[in-house]
């Protein structure tokens, strides 16, 4: 499989399954309605694991522009491939969000709260504070990238690295996700946010563009910080 296709497919699966579990928890009439934060965090961890298994052999399964940029800065990934990877990641995230919208078709109309509808697609802060929201995304993504780099220094039984990364996602969600919803991935947030903006969702409200830059810039800074810290080890 072409690595760009793999990045598209992996990110598509990531969003289809990850945003899908959010939809099941927050949309009215779903059988998993009100299942709670633990369900969302566990769903995202499993989704990341499966997406890495799907794409890893073909592209390395970055599935996240912050990881792609960090690896390029570190020197372990070609800058020439960075634009293609990032475009594929955003495209896959957008497509996955569209399929989640289609899958939960009847539930959008009966869900009154526009914030709940937007939450299916993208993140929002628990307490809106630009400085602290950016810091949360920086810290969460720094932890993600740094631990991924450290995981790579260990010898696991073949095929277990994706499981370790999935557990890492769950740990970040449980420990650090309560502030901003742990986007820690520009494509995961902005791609579905664009889908929210363009899709005909009844009563959807604002796509919250004033906040949209934080889950893009914060993760990129966090990834670069992780590379710097890893270089000190």
Question: Helices 3-26 and 186-198 meet at what angle, rounded to 10?
Answer: 70
Taking the C-alpha atoms of residue 70 and residue 103, their distance in angstroms, rounded to an integer, is 34
Q: What CATH number is given to the structural domain containing 185?
A: 1.20.1080.10
Q: 158 exposed, middle or buried (CB, 10 Å; 0-12, 13-18, 19+)?
A: exposed
* Confidence (pTM): 0.96
Confidence of residue 159 (pLDDT cuts 50, 70, 90): confident
DSSP-based three-state secondary structure for 35: coil
Average pLDDT over residues 165-188: 98
Q: Check if the beta carbon of residue 176 is closer than 8 Å to that of residue 136.
A: yes
7 in Cβ contact with 65 (< 8 Å) = no
d(CA 180, CA 212): 12
Mean pLDDT of the chain: 96
| Whether pLDDT at 129 is above 80 | yes
State how many domains the chain has: 1
User: Which residue, chain included where needed, has tokens 């073949």?
Assistant: 158
Structural domain span for residue 105: 3-232
């Amino acid at each position: 499989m072409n690595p760009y296709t793999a990045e598209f497919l992996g990110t598509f699966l990531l969003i289809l399954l990850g945003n899908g579990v959010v939809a099941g928890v927050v949309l009215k009439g779903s059988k998993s309605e009100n299942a709670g934060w633990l369900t969302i965090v566990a769903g995202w961890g499993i989704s990341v694991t499966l997406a890495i298994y799907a794409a890893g052999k073909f592209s390395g399964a970055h599935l996240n522009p912050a990881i792609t940029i960090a690896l390029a800065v570190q020197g372990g990934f070609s800058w020439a491939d960075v634009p293609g990877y990032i475009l594929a990641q955003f495209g896959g995230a957008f497509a996955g969000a569209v399929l989640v919208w289609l899958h939960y078709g009847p539930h959008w109309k009966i869900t009154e709260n526009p914030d709940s509808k937007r939450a299916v697609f993208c993140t929002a802060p628990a307490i809106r504070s630009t400085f602290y929201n950016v810091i949360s995304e920086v810290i969460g993504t720094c932890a993600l990238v740094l631990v991924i780099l450290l995981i790579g220094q260990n010898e696991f039984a073949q095929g277990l690295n994706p499981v370790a990364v999935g557990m890492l996602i769950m740990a970040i969600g449980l420990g650090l996700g309560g502030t901003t919803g742990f986007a820690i991935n520009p494509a995961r947030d902005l791609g579905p946010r664009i889908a929210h903006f363009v899709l005909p969702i009844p009563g959807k409200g604002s796509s919250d563009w004033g906040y949209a830059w934080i889950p893009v810039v914060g993760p990129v800074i966090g990834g670069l910080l992780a590379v710097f810290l890893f270089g000190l080890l």
